[in-house]
Amino acid sequence: MNNDLDTTNCRANSNEIQAAYKRIEELEHTPQHIESPEALEHLERSLREAMENLTALLLQKHLQASLDTNETKAREAELIKPCSGRLKNEGLVPVWLYTMSGLLILVQARYYRRSCDRRKGKRYSGIYAGLILLGIHERCTPLLGSTISQWSSLLSSFAEVQQVLLDQGLNFGIKVLRRLTYRYAERARLMQQAGEFALSPGENIAKRRVVVSCDGGRIRLRENKRGKKTQKGRTRYKGAWREPKLLIIYVVNEKGKLEKSFAPIIDGSLNGPDDVFQLIHDYLRAINIEEADKVLFVADGAHWIWNRIPKLIKNLGLQSYQVHELLDFYHAVEHISSVASLRKAWSVKERKTWIRKQRSLLSKGKADQVIAAVKSLCKGRNGKAITTERDYFIRNQHRMAYPTLKSLKLPLGSGAVESAIRRVVNLRLKGPCIFWHQENAAKMLMLRSYYKAGRWNMLKQLANSSLSALPA
């Protein structure tokens, strides 16, 4: 594509469009002798380049025509109205845009900025309101921005993303890919926090059974150290282990199976329990959780989870007949095993027999008998450790109504959130010699969560929102 376009009006040259059509016609009518894989690859590349050239020219023409309409100008004025300070129209400015074809197009867009931002160092502090309305951020079309962010969340490194895009004719540096991806996540999070998250048309939870669960994973953060730098002038750092907390909200049918008509909601935070519970509250409020038939909160025995559940239920206005709390059955069995392992005098057979008996009692809802059995063992050298396990069962006894939940065909475990932690955290954010800055890990956590939940289109709507790019 010829990039020497007229920067005065930036209109796609009709002669160039006609030439692009002519090139495609030549490829259609010229006999092609394909005698080898190399020849076939060459032909396919030629056809693709011709089509992408025409696509870029037509995209430029239609985009410019849309920006020139009076309707767009009126929408721009409406968009900038709520901005703090008065944004002044500086006139039309030529802007190069990256497209999914890998070719640059040039358009003229109205540029707005405040008078106080005209001083030195604030040259690019304004906005192109018309481009923002069309979801064009960071000089990238919406399709390109989404594709880069999606590949960044899917693949294991930005270097891999760079190679995949290069194979498709898109040449971006790793720093550029990182910046585009993180800003995409920033815009999406901003709109989610502003309450813009909403279910897709046709999605609802009215009279349905909703399961809510959360748990923590492990990643290593790069935390800078004070003091002298290395001989190469680099800041020293430590790789501290931190716990990203993940949530999942999903719907099950009458048989207790995952309802495929409702994509799960997955998200997470690195800012502690209160932040992740705020996310849970916001998502449940957004999907009108009060309309659900049953709401099950299921998790392991972590204090940071169960200490916050009552307040969450109260703030959401849920009724007692709607809500069920459940301690993950399989975690409870692990604690039974822990008690047995502390009885050093027992043989392997005695341990297995005791575990089998207590597991059976637990599954039948006889938690009081399990507690009594554990109490009887709180003596001897490991008595203190067994007492801790006893307190675990006492504390969670009211969350062990397994027969009731089984009869209602509701899940007895928190396997869904544990699977989400593996797919979202472990396969992208955790690994040997992988260290993250906390703010970047949080952004990747959101992108990866939405992608693995099958809600990427919803994330696109949040990230492409015009409100996310307005100056403060």
Residue-by-residue pLDDT tens, the chain, 472 positions: 444 444 444 444 788 899 999 999 998 888 888 889 999 998 988 998 999 999 999 999 999 999 999 999 999 999 988 886 788 888 999 999 999 988 999 999 999 987 766 554 555 578 999 999 999 999 999 999 999 999 999 999 999 999 999 988 899 999 999 999 999 999 999 999 999 998 888 889 999 999 999 999 999 999 888 888 888 888 888 888 999 999 999 999 999 999 999 999 999 999 999 999 999 999 999 999 999 999 999 999 999 999 999 999 999 999 999 999 999 999 999 999 999 999 999 999 999 999 999 999 999 999 999 999 999 999 888 899 999 999 999 999 999 999 999 999 999 999 999 999 999 999 999 988 899 999 999 999 999 999 999 999 999 999 999 887 777 6
Per-residue buried b or exposed e for 230-243, using 16+ beta carbons within 10 Å of the residue's own CB? eeeeeeeeeeeebe
Residues 6+ apart with CB under 8 A from 10: 60, 64, 94, 106, 107, 108
Residues 6+ apart with CB under 8 A from 218: 241, 242, 243, 244, 425, 430
- Is 83 a domain residue? yes
Question: How are beta strands 219-224 and 209-216 bridged, if at all?
Answer: unpaired
- Is 185 a domain residue? no
Domain edge (last residue) among 99, 131, 163: 131
Determine contact, residues 404/365, Cβ cutoff 8 Å: yes
**Residue 72: domain span:** 1-131
Domain edge (last residue) among 83, 101, 131: 131
Domain edge (last residue) among 116, 131, 146: 131
- Both 392 and 278 in a single domain? no
- Is 140 a domain residue? no
**332/182 Cα distance (integer angstroms):** 39
Determine contact, residues 389/340, Cβ cutoff 8 Å: no
Q: At what angle do helices 37-67 and 14-29 cross, to 10 degrees?
A: 150
CA angle, 57 as apex, 53 and 59 as ends, to 5°?
Answer: 115
- Both 445 and 369 in a single domain? no
- Both 437 and 341 in a single domain? no
Q: At what angle do helices 456-463 and 438-453 cross, to 10 degrees?
A: 130
Q: What is the pLDDT of residue 5?
A: 42
What Cα–Cα distance (Å) separates residue 436 from each residue in 163, 237, 432?
22, 11, 12
- Is 369 a domain residue? yes
E-state strands within 156-208: none
Q: How many CB atoms lie within 10 A of CB 368?
A: 13
- Both 5 and 35 in a single domain? yes
- Is 284 a domain residue? yes
**109/113 Cα distance (integer angstroms):** 13
- Both 102 and 225 in a single domain? no
- Is 190 a domain residue? no
- Is 139 a domain residue? no
**68/11 Cα distance (integer angstroms):** 11
Residue 274's CATH number = 3.30.420
- Both 41 and 123 in a single domain? yes
- Is 239 a domain residue? yes
- Both 80 and 31 in a single domain? yes
Q: How many CB atoms lie within 10 A of CB 298?
A: 25
Closest by Cα among 118, 126, 106, 111 to 61: 106
- Both 335 and 322 in a single domain? no
- Both 380 and 425 in a single domain? no
Q: Count of domains in the chain?
A: 3
- Both 113 and 248 in a single domain? no
Determine contact, residues 280/268, Cβ cutoff 8 Å: no
**419/317 Cα distance (integer angstroms):** 30
Q: What is the pLDDT of residue 3?
A: 44
E-state strands within 191-333: 209-216, 219-224, 237-242, 245-252, 265-269, 294-299, 323-327
Q: What is the pLDDT of residue 31?
A: 87
- Both 421 and 370 in a single domain? no
- Both 40 and 121 in a single domain? yes
